[in-house]
Copies of this chain bind each other. A is one copy, B any other.
């Protein structure tokens, strides 16, 4: 996506997550990340303000994709159908590289209280983004807020299941075909939309 150096952004993310996992988040410097990725520190700072933001850089992209998907859903789509459109767009954009990174990212986050807080704040801001996109479609506030929360729950649950790769056969395929994102992209969307369906069904049992 970078206009300056093709692939640098992705290499920086992979290098950072590897270093965080190997030696811890606090002990890792921007200089080390840049060196591991084979770029200069200046290149690092053209992509990220600091090492913490590197890990959550995907958030803005994710918010934008969710918002666009909701905004562009058919005019007669229900609130949850619009949420599903947003989730599908965002999930489809997350390819196999993200899946291979997911377990390492999870380990780095588990080892750092600061990253845990950042990760939690991220999910709250995704809910707010979806709620705002629904309000912009004319969905009344309490329904929009609820649908936004359901969307985030669905994304978290679907992503966790997908990242764990509990469908062994597809995981193995993914490892062999990391260059080809097609299958894995569809797969994340499938997990997330299944989780949304499950939550929709659960909402009938709240009593």
CB atoms of A78 and B146 under 8 A apart: no
Instruction: Please name all residues of chain B whose beta carbon is closer than 8 Å to the beta carbon of A80 when the two chains form the complex.
Output: 206-207
A107 at the interface (CB under 8 A from B): no
Query: How far apart sit A80 and B146, CA to CA, in the bound complex (Å)?
Result: 14
Query: How far apart sit A59 and B205, CA to CA, in the bound complex (Å)?
Result: 29
How many chain A residues touch the partner (CB < 8 A)?
29
CB atoms of B120 and A206 under 8 A apart: no
Query: CB < 8 Å: which of B79, B120, B121 contacts A207?
Result: B79
Once A124-B120, A124-B124, A153-B149 are accepted as A-B contacts, the answer to whether A142 and B206 lie under 8 Å apart by CB is no
Within 8 A of B (CB), among A174-202: 198-202
CB atoms of B79 and A205 under 8 A apart: yes
The residue on B at minimum CB distance from A123 is: B124
CB atoms of A147 and B206 under 8 A apart: yes
Closest 3 CB pairs of A and B: A78-B207, A142-B202, A143-B202
Query: What are 26 A-to-B residue pairs whose CB atoms are below 8 Å?
Result: A77-B207, A78-B206, A78-B207, A79-B205, A80-B206, A80-B207, A81-B207, A117-B117, A117-B121, A120-B120, A120-B124, A123-B124, A124-B124, A142-B198, A142-B199, A142-B201, A143-B202, A145-B153, A146-B150, A146-B202, A146-B203, A147-B206, A149-B149, A149-B150, A149-B153, A150-B206
